[in-house]
Structure 1
Amino acid sequence: MVTMSCLQLEEQIQQNKILCEELRAKIVELWERLQIPEEERQALAVHMTGSKGKNIKALQEEADRLQELKLQNIKNVIEVIRTELVTYWDKCFYGNEQRQAFAPFYDEDYSEDLLSLHDAEIERIKQYYEVHKEMFEGVQKWEENWLLFLELDKKATDPNRFNNRGGNLLKEEKQRAKLQKTLPKLEEELRVRIAAWEEEQGQEFFMNGKKFMDYVAEQWNQFNLEKEREKQERLIKKSRQLEEEMYYGSAPKTPNKRRVLGSTTPSKVRKLNGTSISSTTNNTLRSAFSGTMCHSPVSRPPPSGGKPGLPMRTPSRTFKTPQPRRLDKNKENMSQLNGTAMSGGCHTIPAHRNLSVNSVASTYSEFARDSTHIDSTTICSSENFQKLQELTPTPEC
Structure 2
Amino acid sequence: MRKSELIAAESVACLNKALCHLKDIWEEIGIPEDQRLERTNVVKNHVKSLLDMMIAEEESLWKRLTTSIETCQNELSKLCLELQLPPFQEDRSSTMLQQEKDLRIHLEVMLKEKNQRMQALKTLTEQDQDLCDLLCFQSFSVSADSVPSLEQLEKFCQHISSLTAEKIFFMHQELLEKKLKAEIEQWEHEQNGEFQVNGQKFMQFVTDQWETYRLEKEREKQERQLKKSKQTEEDMVYGTVIRTPTKQRFLGSTTPCKARKLNATSSTGTSNSTIRSVFGGTVCHSPISRPPILESKGNVKTPGHSKPPHQGLLECNKENICHLTGGVAGMTKVTASPQRNFSINSVASTYSEFQRDLSKSSKSKHVPEILNSTIIQL
Larger Rg: 1
